[in-house]
Amino acid sequence: MSHCHATLLSDRGVVRVAGADAAKLLQGVITTDIDKAHGRAAIHAGLLTPQGKILFDFFVVAADGGFLLEVARDKAAELVKRLGFYRLRAEVEIAEEPAFKVAAAWGGEPNLPAGAISFADPRLPELGLRILLPEGAGVAQLGCMEAEGADYHVKRIKLGVPEGGRDYAFGDAYPHDALFDQLNGVDFHKGCFVGQEVVSRMQHKSTTRKRIVPVEGDAPLPPSGTEVVAGDLPLGPLGSVSGASGLALLRLDRAEEALARGTPLTAGAVKITLRRPAFAGFDVPVAISA
């Protein structure tokens, strides 16, 4: 038995984009350079509104002359439809790919069954591998210790890595809010994509007001969606929660002012502190713990 851990991510699905113009279509609309998705290297990308807000986030890996997009399962049909809006006369086939199941593995190398496709999580190496399992294959065949989906999310939360639909609402958050600029989710050198002008303007501002940050409670945190406040001042909602650990989409300027005044941050009745994410490349309140 390998030292790796693996779990099925039943809330993830797969969309296939294939055909002679597949790369050209994706390159023109998604936030990351499709040319970086080759071999077993995947990219983390989003498809935005023209106003620059995230409609979908996904991983893209090359496969069988086309591309597989790993996306939230309940957004897969909508992603197919949205990409179809941009297809026009392009020679592209876009469809859900129900044959694949999605797994995550970390802490070691799994044994891949025939037909499986694996790639390193392009957001952060510590998140390990994503594995697309073909029909008939299961997590048990990976030779890893089987984990629960919750175990994967505990790891993700500890690392400070957000997930769409859990830590921010689709259609309501900008890439910088969701740390796309920190987690290889946007390429500012690739050329045009939908919403690019707005995202580029945010990149060239000196600070981003809202960010998803890890938080730690002095007791178990209340449910996702609970507002984090400084006194009576709202800072933003909790997202993913696991015990006393969680992620929250906060107004960092308000948090910094509150901490400078000595005003505690709370969620429900729980006092919280802010933690640095594993990759903290953005400005965070000076008073947060390491």
**Mean per-residue pLDDT for 243-270?**
94
Name the burial class of residue 80, with classes exposed (0-12), middle (13-18) and buried (19+) by CB atoms within 10 angstroms of its CB.
Answer: middle
The residue range of the domain holding 262 is: 209-274
CB 35 within 8 A of CB 111: no
3-state secondary structure of 40: coil
Residue 272 carries which DSSP code? E
| Same-domain check for residues 214 and 149 | no
3-state secondary structure of 201: helix
| Same-domain check for residues 148 and 247 | no
Q: How confident is the model at residue 2 (pLDDT cuts 50, 70, 90)?
A: low
**Percentage of residues of the chain with pLDDT beyond 90:** 82
Q: Is the pLDDT of residue 287 over 60?
A: no
pLDDT at residue 290 in the model: 37
| Same-domain check for residues 153 and 213 | no
Buried b / exposed e along 173-195 (16+ C-beta atoms within 10 A):
bbbbbbbbbbbbbbbeebeebbb
Q: What is the pTM of this model?
A: 0.93
**Mean per-residue pLDDT for 235-243?**
98
| Same-domain check for residues 115 and 19 | yes
- Does residue 188 lie within any of the structural domains? no
| Same-domain check for residues 55 and 117 | yes
- What single-letter amino acid sits at 175? P
Q: How confident is the model at residue 134 (pLDDT cuts 50, 70, 90)?
A: very high
Total domains in the fold of the chain: 2
- Does residue 183 lie within any of the structural domains? no
CATH of the domain at 142: 3.30.1360.120
**Percentage of residues of the chain with pLDDT beyond 70:** 95
CATH of the domain at 265: 2.40.30
Q: How confident is the model at residue 183 (pLDDT cuts 50, 70, 90)?
A: very high
Q: Is the pLDDT of residue 260 over 50?
A: yes
pLDDT at residue 190 in the model: 87
Q: Is the pLDDT of residue 189 over 60?
A: yes
- Does residue 148 lie within any of the structural domains? yes
